[in-house]
Amino acid sequence: MVLSLIPAAVGVLATGLLTLTAVLGGALTRTAGAIAFAFGSVIVIAAGFPYLALLVLFVLASVLATRFRFEEKKRRHVEEGTRGERGVSNVLAHILVPTALALYLAFASPGWPSISVAVLYTAALAFGASDTFASELGVLSGSARSLLSGRPVPPGTNGGVSGAGELWALVGAATTGVVGLGLFELFGELGTRPALYLGVAIAAGFAGCQIDSVVGELLENRGYLTKGGTNLTSMAATVLVAAVLLWGLGGR
């Protein structure tokens, strides 16, 4: 679907106001805000308001998690930015895949049905929330172990996980899954198998967080990927996991 002129104009205006608020509130740098506005406008025009709403809620939840006990994170040197703001790399890493899915929904015909794309989109942002919650809240637990070797590592180390972090990762994926599919139901886009779709979005989002830890330890720690590259790779892998689950469980 592609929005008609007036709804599209409203969507772009709403996107502009939201990104301006994020920049003025210190959640995004100016350049990151400009990028978020451009890609957010594409998403709302190409896919509609529930897609934009879920993206906005993801950003809001990420900001709150990032700023939670921020001074303590600074003392431990595990903070994001100087005031918790997100820069260009972080924004691109988390918005490229959702934008690609929105464009697929708008222009790929015939293709996967809209509800399947909605599930993939929700799974992508469920990964983003899962990874952010695990990183920003789990890091405060004070201990971590390598997901691959089990050896103790400093909190905040790429590939390091903790019990608290894994719990927060599940909370992030589950919350995004519930809110996302609730939005699609509200806008009349959810199909007849909501439990299946919800399970796929949550499972893929949580699995993506584990993939991120593995990729971070194997590639980012060795300098082959940046943090943004790790996030982008893991989000793409999350969508692939969700697509395989949908296909295998007959939810396509």
CB atoms within 10 A of CB 164: 18
The mean predicted confidence, pLDDT, of the chain is: 90
Least confident range of 8-12, 72-76, 205-209: 72-76
Residue in 170, 50, 172, 61 with CA at minimum distance from that of residue 115:
50
Residue 43 burial class via C-beta count within 10 angstroms: exposed 0-12, middle 13-18, buried 19 and up: buried
Q: What is the pLDDT of residue 251?
A: 67
CA 44 – CA 118 distance, rounded (Å): 13
The pLDDT-based confidence of 51 (bands split at 50, 70, 90) is very high
DSSP 28: B
% of the chain residues with pLDDT over 70:
94
Residues sharing a CB contact under 8 Å with residue 121, sequence separation 6 or more, in sequence order: 47, 51, 54, 98, 101, 102, 180
Given a cut of 70, whether residue 248 has pLDDT beyond it is yes
The pLDDT-based confidence of 109 (bands split at 50, 70, 90) is low
Buried/exposed 44-71: b ≥16 CB within 10 Å, e otherwise: bbbbbbbbbbbbbbbbebbbebbbeeee
Collapsing DSSP to helix, strand or coil, 217 comes out as: helix
Collapsing DSSP to helix, strand or coil, 153 comes out as: strand
Given a cut of 90, whether residue 168 has pLDDT beyond it is yes
Domain boundaries, the chain: 49-248
pLDDT 10s digits, 192-222: 788 899 999 999 999 999 999 999 999 999 9
pLDDT 10s digits, 23-46: 999 889 999 999 999 999 999 999
**More confident: 198 or 74:** 198
% of the chain residues with pLDDT over 90:
65
Collapsing DSSP to helix, strand or coil, 201 comes out as: helix
pTM listed for this prediction? 0.93
The pLDDT-based confidence of 242 (bands split at 50, 70, 90) is very high
The pLDDT-based confidence of 81 (bands split at 50, 70, 90) is low
**More confident: 180 or 1:** 180
Given a cut of 90, whether residue 138 has pLDDT beyond it is no
